[in-house]
Structure 1
Amino acid sequence: MTSVDNILTGKYPAKAHARRVADLLKARHGGAGAIYLEAQKTRMIEDSDETMPFRQRRPFFYLTGCLLPDAAVVYDAVADQLTLFVPPIDEESVIWSGLPLSPEEASKLYDVDRVLFTTDINSTLASIASTHNGKTAAFSIAEQVSEGTSFKGFAETNVSALKTAIEDTRVIKDAYEVALLRKANEISTKAHVAAIEAAKTATNERQIEAAIIGACIANGCREQSYHPIVAGGEGGATLHYVRNDVDLIDPDTKQRKNNVLIDAGGEYQTYCADITRVIPLNGKFATETRQIYEIVLQMQMECIAMLKEGVCWDDVHALAHRIAIRGLLELGILRGSEEELFEKRISVAFFPHGLGHYLGMDTHDTGGNPNYEDKDTMFRYLRVRANLPAGSVITVEPGIYFCRFIIDPVLNSPETGKYIDAEVLKRYWKVGGVRIEDNIHITKDGFENLTTAPKTIMEVESLAM
């Protein structure tokens, strides 16, 4: 058993999370008498007797570690008591779905003080309000409270502050959460290796996607963190490519395309991996793809080396752009001075997105405080605008893309067109895009890379042959 598996044999630290959220509410709003959250409801597919795919509400999971639908939780912050509520037996549904989890079984599974039925919610809330003489507040989330749930007896009911408090608390992961993310990465690495193997004979993007999903499910990730991106050739220039059904044979040359960009990760017990790799479809990278890959890999490695507690993410992002500019200057795609190209934001045409985002229960996890109204194009789409705290987990995913819709306006502008050599650029359109992405745990003195999927050119080519 690995050290990760050893950690995960314990219970998800729900009560520690409840305390952290309550402490933040106390600091911001003077305290909380009760925190109330509901699980996602069972929802039926229209015109069918089948349920819709289930995705647990993240705030509820953070305070319970529970994946049951139709459940609820109350944290009495004054008494430090966490109560999980599970649905009672519905005799008519037992024949179809079996017996639900009992309170006794739930008590053994989850880090809570007691387990009651959902029919006990109102009486429990009323008891907490009475115990505190009606002088404390109840916190919940707007539009996530069932009709009939009563907060009578509390001094106030706040439905606006809790969601933000949980989102901010989630930025810093504890050891259990890091273990979940590491496990998701371990399984997703197997999926990326399976994708490389499938790519040797694949004739369509969907065959590679099938290998990714199959490997994730077989190894314990029933769900994907997001729909996989499998983009052959010039499709890699589309950042959130969704087709995954295009032939890998070039219709003009009748030859296999040079490369495929794969952005995929499995979800393990709600925690996400998010990994991007580019692999050659012919065993070895074509010259132009290799050149761009080397630049992007240097961007990533130097940015990762910069990471530690307190580093400004804006500065790391800016470093990635400077390395991209140097590399594209060396290839002759750009011309001019490095400083002028940086100040004119020319590299944004080739690297238009942010360097990365927080990672956790959501792929684009909470607490990043982006500023999409920023007039500076280099930072507009940066999803994290902060000094990184120890305990956060962030993706580092630089890329260089050859997207005509982004580059052509820069190329055709009298002011900026002089910085790009159109003749040299012609050789690189077929690359599409190269992005390399790892998941990094920030520590006080540095970082841990949770991602072990093959990444160097030698590693990738040795598997792709």
Structure 2
Amino acid sequence: MAARGPVGAHPQLVRALPDRQPAPEPRRYGFRPRVRSDKLPPIPHGDRRDRVLARLEDGSMLLPAAPVRFRNNDSEYRYRPDSELLYLTGWDAPGCIALLRGFADKDRFVLFVPERDAEQELWTGPLREPEEVGKLLGADRVFSAGDFAGKAPGLLAGGDGIHYRLGTSDVCDRVVREALQNGRRLRARTGAGPSMVADPGVILDPMRLRKHPAEIVRMREAARISVAAFGEALGHVREGVGEWEVEAALEAGFRGRGANGPAFATIVAAGANACTLHYSANSSRIGAGDLVLIDAGAEFDFYAADITRTVPASGKLGGARREVYEVVRDAHRAAVAACTPGGTLDAVHQAAVEKIAAGLVAIGVLDGTMDEVVEKRSYRPFFPHRTSHWLGLDTHDAGPYRNRDGPVKLEPGMVFTVEPGLYFAPGSGPGLPEQEGTGIRLEDDVLVTPEGSEVLTGGLPVDPGLLGEVMVS
């Protein structure tokens, strides 16, 4: 008998599966324990701040850390940092507030960080001294987080607009309101003072669209981990297995390879559950004739991957469901082919829509021509969502899809998903009886390159024959 890799792993994927990673060193406050962190290229947070400061001109930007969130009573969820603060500073722990002052001649990057607290450290781990945090992050000035309410109004007083998302932090809300209330008096006396609030995303969202090479390294790793974990987990898909068991296999594959964990709530949807787009209960058992839709992705160093595959519990796909699968596969191929520099996500979606429309006519679900189906949007009951979303620090990453000139043009360094699907919900009416309860989606992560595009998650097949080999190997 030939040697095999880990259970459920396709032979082509075995060489991509690294040894399980050793436990990281105990964390120090403000810097996460990263797997193989010495091999990750640094992210240029300082350059990003310089770009923001230049855009701010006479304004300022206030970015608080994400709050600790509670599952129930005093039990916390695992902490996930705010993506905007992480993008500009690398800060990954609670309690910090960053202030950028475009109008200032000095102290342009100010940090407020928690003081060390022996009792708190007993429960949550050792903290860094505020001065050490400031030095590591490149801050011009560091204060205790407890001093924010007293010092921040004065630090904001010399500027004009404040880029801050109201409702993010109670203490920041109060300080911003106070700064605005004082702004009119200050402007009358000094000629300067806060006069308005703007969303930080006006500046940050377009910046986040194009990934730096160091970010792409992390996204490649998130994709590689996700492909390998899928390769294992698909081997668990069979009659009688719980959706939760497939979920557990996937997420063990993520964590065992050094990922933070899942980038979003894993979807394992058997049978008609796949017709609920964001089904996440994962509480049913897989039936003998079920198709199983799996939508999941690893988060590595806070960068996300996002993959969807749909597979038969029996390992074989035939009849009406194979016809539906092939329509979705053809839409996926056409959409990926449209991912080129100078293109748009509208064009990517249109390529998928045309294949979906033509396919629904060909298999007898809809009458008319492809053009008629597209024009009347009669495909929408079966394909109700867009084909793509941006991908990065967030699974549905920040970034505009349109601007005043129309759809955003695709450029090298942009990363997004391609995920057409077809869904025939039970009792919905449209469709043929043999398709009722069928939901199929195929999703990959695409990087735009100077020459065209690269499917970062392309190591996991979409062809039903090859995907079947992954399941049984």
Q: If the length of structure 2 is used for normalisation, what is the TM-score?
A: 0.79
Distance in 2, matches of 1:278 and 1:370, equals 31
**Any residues of structure 2 matched to 1:247-258 within 5 Å, and which?**
247-249=285-287, 256-258=288-290
**Any residues of structure 2 matched to 1:175-190 within 5 Å, and which?**
175-190=213-228
| Residue 456 (str. 1) matches residue 456 (str. 2) | no
| Residue 85 (structure 2) aligns with | 60
| Residue 299 (str. 1) matches residue 321 (str. 2) | no
Q: How far is 1:89 from its partner?
A: 1.0
Distance in 1, matches of 2:424 and 2:73, equals 44
| Residue 391 (str. 1) matches residue 425 (str. 2) | no
Which amino acid counterpart does residue 434 of structure 2 have in structure 1? R
Segment drifting more, 70-79 vs 134-143: 134-143
Deviations 1:196-238 (A, max 9, x none): 0221475221111111121112122233222111111222222
Alpha-carbon distance change, 305 to 79 in structure 1, aligned in 2, over 3 angstroms: farther
SS at match of 2:292: strand
Alpha-carbon distance change, 461 to 46 in structure 1, aligned in 2, over 3 angstroms: closer
Segment drifting more, 79-88 vs 349-358: 79-88
Q: How far is 1:284 from its partner?
A: 2.0
| Residue 41 (str. 1) matches residue 67 (str. 2) | yes
Q: How far is 1:123 from its partner?
A: 8.0
Q: Does the Cα contact within 8 Å between 1:397 and 1:436 map onto a contact in 2?
A: yes
| Residue 172 (structure 1) aligns with | 210
Distance in 1, matches of 2:279 and 2:70, equals 29
Q: How far is 1:74 from its partner?
A: 2.3
Q: Name which of 140, 145, 150 aligns with 2:164.
A: 140
**Which stretches in structure 1 are left out of the alignment for 5+ residues?**
26-30, 250-255, 372-383, 412-421
Q: Does the Cα contact within 8 Å between 2:156 and 2:194 map onto a contact in 1?
A: no
Distance in 1, matches of 2:36 and 2:455, equals 18
Alpha-carbon distance change, 308 to 6 in structure 1, aligned in 2, over 3 angstroms: farther
Distance in 2, matches of 1:329 and 1:280, equals 24
Deviations 1:117-166 (A, max 9, x none): 43565787578668xxx355543332335267575776216432323322
| Residue 311 (structure 2) aligns with | 279
Q: How far is 1:342 from its partner?
A: 2.1
| Residue 14 (str. 1) matches residue 45 (str. 2) | yes
Equivalenced residues, count: 421
| Residue 440 (structure 2) aligns with | 434
Deviations 1:246-285 (A, max 9, x none): 1212xxxxxx123201011122232211110012211222
| Residue 99 (structure 1) aligns with | 126
**Which stretches in structure 2 are left out of the alignment for 5+ residues?**
1-15, 19-34, 187-191
Distance in 2, matches of 1:108 and 1:280, equals 54
**Any residues of structure 2 matched to 1:23-422 within 5 Å, and which?**
23-25=54-56, 31-43=57-69, 47-48=73-74, 50-77=75-102, 78-79=104-105, 81-103=108-130, 105-106=132-133, 110=137, 112=139, 116-119=143-146, 121=148, 134=158, 137-145=161-169, 146=171, 149=175, 155-156=193-194, 158-200=196-238, 203-249=241-287, 256-369=288-401, 385-404=407-426, 406=428, 408=429, 411=430
Deviations 1:365-403 (A, max 9, x none): 2224589xxxxxxxxxxxx95333433211110112212
Q: How far is 1:337 from its partner?
A: 2.1
Q: Does the Cα contact within 8 Å between 1:7 and 1:176 map onto a contact in 2?
A: no
Segment drifting more, 296-305 vs 306-315: 306-315
Distance in 1, matches of 2:301 and 2:418, equals 23
Distance in 2, matches of 1:445 and 1:122, equals 51
Alpha-carbon distance change, 163 to 338 in structure 1, aligned in 2, over 3 angstroms: closer
Which amino acid counterpart does residue 425 of structure 2 have in structure 1? C
- Misfit runs of 4+, over 6 Å: 4-7
Q: Does the Cα contact within 8 Å between 1:395 and 1:439 map onto a contact in 2?
A: yes
Distance in 2, matches of 1:247 and 1:144, equals 40
Q: Does the Cα contact within 8 Å between 2:274 and 2:292 map onto a contact in 1?
A: yes
Q: How far is 1:112 from its partner?
A: 4.9
Distance in 2, matches of 1:46 and 1:279, equals 36
Alpha-carbon distance change, 169 to 158 in structure 1, aligned in 2, over 3 angstroms: farther
Which amino acid counterpart does residue 60 of structure 1 have in structure 2? L
Distance in 2, matches of 1:108 and 1:282, equals 57
